[in-house]
Amino acid sequence: MPETAYGRSQRRIKAEKKKKDNAKRAKANREKKHKGVALKNGRCGIMKRNGDLCRMWAGQGTTHQGTGPCRYHGGNLPNVIKADVKRHAILMGAPKEINPLDALIWCIKITAGEVEFCTHQLSLLKQDQWVESTIIGKQIHIWAKERQKSVDRLAKFSKDALALGIADRAVRLAEQYGASIARYTKGLLDDLELTPDQIKKAPLIVRKHLALLEGGSPVTDEERREPLAAIPRRVAS
């Protein structure tokens, strides 16, 4: 059966599309290959309109000099900068908004975890492993040294925290938090205008959800029978 004009046109369109796809794929492979060579030489490596590779230094004119494209090839785009921050965060850690007091408390918690970890590793050692042989002679095991370093840092951080009055500040914040919760709970119960039977159940329900909020366990049956502290409230008339 002879090929129709429509069939010939469709075959020609498919052939042209395949040719364009192959050319695009070949160009992408060339860019990838040349860019790899350019990056090894510390260059931008992005292919320009004339087909040449950009010879500017990687990250030139941007906040990430030494890596990524230059300013003329998207180096200052938000997504490029964000990707560079993530790349550096793997090694150095991304910047974090934190006040000095919270930072000190964070250091104390991290160092306390280091002490606990080193202590656990020491507990796994046998007695004949407490001292190890090195090129400079017998030395106490590395885990004991690392634990002592962590203990020293923990003592320093704790001393700084006491000097700054962080413990008193934490107590004041806890008191303010408790007072805020009490005012919120009282106002909520007052506005709901509960019935007398609901008012009897309210303290137990509030106590249950506050315990769950603080990471505690639900109120047990034994605790249900204990006298509960009265919460100031009014009965609906």
Q: Strand, helix or coil at 132?
A: strand
What letter represents residue 192's amino acid? L
Residue 214: the pLDDT is 64
C-alpha to C-alpha distance for 148 and 118, rounded to whole angstroms:
9
Question: Where are the chain's structural domains?
Answer: 5-89, 100-164, 176-224
71-84 pLDDT, tens digit each: 888 888 888 887 77
Question: Could you list the pLDDT tens digit for every one of the 237 residues in the chain?
Answer: 567 777 778 888 888 888 888 888 877 766 665 555 555 567 787 878 877 778 888 888 887 777 788 888 888 888 888 777 777 666 556 667 788 888 888 888 889 998 998 888 888 888 888 887 777 788 888 888 888 999 999 999 988 888 888 777 776 777 787 788 878 887 887 888 878 788 777 777 777 777 777 665 555 555 555 544 444 444 343
Q: How distant is the alpha carbon of residue 127 from its chain centre?
A: 39
**Placement of tokens 């509030």 in the chain:** 206
Instruction: Give the span between the Cα atoms of 38 and 43, in whole angstroms.
Output: 5
pTM of the model: 0.40
Q: Where are the alpha helices (DSSP H) in 78-164?
A: 78-89, 100-123, 142-164
